[in-house]
Each structure stands twice: as structure tokens, then as C-alpha cells.
């Protein structure tokens, strides 16, 4: 869709999706399988969704690694208005998003350093 073909809504035209090559966040939710550490004095999620390990607080996860706030049917966040800061700042279409969509091997490549080549 071209900018001139943008749909309208009461608050003005809706711009075209700059990342139309990837799925919408709702329904995809692949990033909702990442470990999310909660920031003190920043993240105020309901305590029933929090797990603590070695003094750090994290969003708890289900047995398949999904965030406990992820609705398994809609694949949407059940605490969207109160979601953690890192979730609010996650860049849909950004490098990490695209690597998650490609698969675990690409994610490992994003988070690990390549081995130093051996000297001859």
C-alpha cells in the first residue's frame, strides 16, 4: 500500500506498516518466549506473574517458555497496559525481532561471540 492509499480513522490517516514482511505482534508472540528481567521502580506487573531467582525478579514462564502473561489462545498480552519496560521498548521489525523469527540458531548467533580463528 502506498502512503496515498493509507486507510483513514477518526484521528487521521493510518500510515502503511513499514514491516509488512513480518507478522503482527498479536498472534506472533515469539518475543514473549524471551526471559524478561523486571526493573525495580520501573516495572509494576501483578505479583502473580513474577518469579524471583537469586534476588532478581523476572516475568514467570510457562512450561513451554512462554511468558505467563501471554494469552495462549489470542497470543496477545493480558497485561498490555502494565507490561514490562523491555516489552514496551521491543522493536518490532528490528534486528532481534527478525532473528527470533528466523529461528534459534540465528538468535544464538546474535547473542554469542564468534570463536577466535586459530593461528596457523
pLDDT at 117 over 60: no
Per-residue pLDDT tens digits for 9-42? 455 665 666 666 666 666 788 888 889 999 999 9
Per-residue pLDDT tens digits for 57-81? 999 999 999 999 999 999 899 999 9
Secondary structure class of 8 (helix, strand, coil): strand
Q: Give the whole-angstrom CA distance, residue 60 versus residue 46.
A: 11
Please provide the average confidence, as pLDDT, over all residues in the chain: 78
Structural domain boundaries of the chain?
Answer: 15-111
Amino acid at each position: 500500500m502506498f502512503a496515498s492509499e493509507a486507510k483513514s480513522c477518526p484521528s487521521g490517516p493510518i500510515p502503511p506498516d513499514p514491516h509488512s514482511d513480518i507478522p503482527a505482534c498479536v498472534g506472533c508472540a515469539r518475543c514473549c518466549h524471551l526471559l524478561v528481567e523486571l526493573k525495580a521502580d520501573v516495572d509494576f506487573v501483578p505479583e502473580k506473574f513474577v518469579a524471583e531467582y537469586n534476588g532478581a525478579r523476572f516475568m514467570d514462564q510457562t512450561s513451554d517458555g512462554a511468558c505467563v502473561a501471554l494469552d495462549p489462545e489470542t497470543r496477545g498480552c493480558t497485561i498490555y497496559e502494565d507490561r514490562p519496560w523491555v516489552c514496551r521498548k521491543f522493536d518490532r521489525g528490528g534486528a532481534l525481532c527478525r532473528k527470533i523469527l528466523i529461528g534459534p540458531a540465528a538468535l544464538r548467533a546474535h547473542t554469542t561471540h564468534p570463536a577466535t580463528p586459530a593461528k596457523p
